[in-house]
Amino acid sequence: MTMPNPRKAYPPIDPFRVGRLDVGDGHELYYEECGNPAGRPILFLHGGPGSGASPQHRRLFDPARYRIILLDQRGCGRSTPLGRLEANTTWHLVADLERLREALSIERWALFGGSWGATLALAYAETHPERVTAMILRGVFSGRRAELDWFYQSGANRLFPDHWENFVGQLPADEQGDIIAAYRERLTHQDRAVRAAAASAWTQWESATVMLRSEPVPVGRGPVSDGTIAFARIENHYFYHELWLEDGQLIANADRLAAIPGVIIQGRYDVVTPAITSWQLAQAWPRAEYRIVEAAGHAFAEPAILSALVEATDRFAAG
């Protein structure tokens, strides 16, 4: 796919409404609405798990035509309590999305998600297909064991041996057979300093691999924020539990998406979520258009990926 006239993000906007939703289990979610209150409802699902939504994400949609809904999932961003792992699973989040839809009096909405956001979009759409009008997915992650092993055990390390050495170097040799479990011990440790050191290494590995071309990642510089610790804890928590999904479940159940149109956008050189997963999903979901972006990795902000995403949201804006 070539981009002779690349699209850019829409100008910055502020929410017209901000709210908090009590979803039980001690969790309260932050959400916001932007754009046109009478526009087509679309829900942005952030990645991670654990990262949270940002003002940049609002700019993926035409504010004149979309009612843009963003939320921070359990334990993330502006939701509280920050970093909490209890009652925080994929299926809690699927239920949260239904609570939010009902709270906003939305009958049906479109979904937009990349990476883990695509995972959650698929889990929700396969559970509530009658509530979904369309989906735009990027860098699909389906949570299979092979996908986790590729990034956290043996696969991506062959492309980034220098960054991998920094990542696994935090662990003694006898714990490197299960890196996700070894990091879980540290990210749930009582001592904040232990959690912070583990979170720093965990997030640096991801930051080093997310872009096709990126600046060198500083190693171990500066204090580690509570938000960084929360992100690493939640992401590791989900991966340790294999996202509470049967292996291959989301692709096996793609027939439930039969009535939902969609676009899948995939960076050719995506190392975090390699193209094989999105390709297999596209084969199982006939109404999805599959678009490979050649000069790109995983991140939504890479120019060619961003252009393809804005083009897709524009195409679905009319409903």
- Please confirm, yes or no, whether 298 is among the known catalytic residues: yes
Catalytic: which of 27, 46, 57, 298? Answer: 298
Q: What is the CATH number of the domain that holds 50?
A: 3.40.50.1820
- Phi, psi of 266, deg, nearest 5: -135, 125
pLDDT tens string 55-64: 999 999 999 9
Give the side-chain half-sphere CA count within 13 A for 98.
Answer: 14
Mean pLDDT check: name the lowest of 23-27, 183-187, 212-216: 212-216
- State which amino acid sits at residue 17: R
Catalytic: which of 51, 270, 278, 307? Answer: 270
Residue 68 pLDDT level (bands cut at 50, 70, 90): very high
| 108 domain residue, yes or no | yes
Indicate if 162 and 110 belong to the same structural domain: no
pLDDT tens string 256-308: 999 999 999 999 999 999 999 999 999 999 999 999 999 899 999 999 999 99
| 11 domain residue, yes or no | no
| 9 domain residue, yes or no | no
Catalytic: which of 51, 79, 115, 307? Answer: 115
- Distance from C-alpha of 110 to C-alpha of 128, rounded to nearest angstrom: 12
- Please confirm, yes or no, whether 115 is among the known catalytic residues: yes
| 2 domain residue, yes or no | no
| 137 domain residue, yes or no | yes
CA angle 38, 34, 41 (to 5 degrees): 45
Last residue of a domain, one of 243, 273, 294: 243
Last residue of a domain, one of 197, 228, 243: 243
Domain that holds residue 161: 145-243
Number of domains in the chain: 2
Indicate if 226 and 101 belong to the same structural domain: no
Indicate if 174 and 234 belong to the same structural domain: yes
Check whether the bond before 81 is cis (ω within 30° of 0): yes
Task: Judge contact between 80 and 239, C-beta under 8 A.
Answer: no
Indicate if 162 and 233 belong to the same structural domain: yes
Smallest CA-to-CA distance from 253 within 67, 119, 90, 139 is with 119
Indicate if 116 and 82 belong to the same structural domain: yes
- Please confirm, yes or no, whether 162 is among the known catalytic residues: no
pTM for this entry: 0.96
Indicate if 219 and 249 belong to the same structural domain: no
Indicate if 61 and 176 belong to the same structural domain: no
| 62 domain residue, yes or no | yes
Indicate if 259 and 211 belong to the same structural domain: no
